[in-house]
Amino acid sequence: MESPMTVGLPDLMPGQSLARGVARHLLSHDFVTVEELVPTPGLRVDLMALGPKGEVWVIECKSCRADFTTDRKWQGYLDWCDRFFWAVDADFPVDLLPAETGLILADGYDAEIVRMGPEQRLAGARRKAVLQGFARVAARRLQGLRDPGAFSTAVI
**Strands 83-88 and 102-106, how do they pair?**
parallel
* Shortest separation between residue 96's beta carbon and a second copy, angstroms: 29
Q: Is 149 in the site for a second copy (CB under 8 A)?
A: yes
Task: Tell me if 18 sits within 8 A of 87, measured CB to CB.
Answer: yes
**From the CB of 61, what's the least distance to a second copy, in Å?**
15
CA-based R_g, the chain, Å: 16
Distances, alpha carbon 120 to alpha carbons 27, 47, 57, 136, 140, in Å: 22, 18, 10, 24, 29
- The residue among 13 and 96 lying less far from a second copy, judged by its C-beta, is 13
Task: From 61-69, 87-95, 99-107, 146-154, give the range in contact with a second copy by CB under 8 A.
Answer: 146-154
Q: Does 34 bind a second copy (CB under 8 A)?
A: yes
Nearer to a second copy, 96 or 135 (CB): 135
Of 57-65, 74-82, 92-100, 140-148, which segment contacts a second copy by CB under 8 A? 140-148
Q: How many CB atoms lie within 10 A of CB 126?
A: 15
Out of 33, 46, 87, 104, the only residue in the binding site for a second copy (CB under 8 A) is 33
> Least distance to a second copy from the beta carbon of 137, Å?
8
Phi/psi of residue 102, nearest 5 degrees = -80, 160
Which CB sits closer to a second copy, 17 or 101?
A: 17
Q: Is residue 83 within the footprint of a second copy (CB under 8 A)? A: no
- Describe the strand order of the beta sheet including 83-88 as a list of residue ranges: 32-40, 43-50, 56-62, 83-88, 102-106, 111-115
Contact call for residue 28 and a second copy (CB under 8 A) = yes
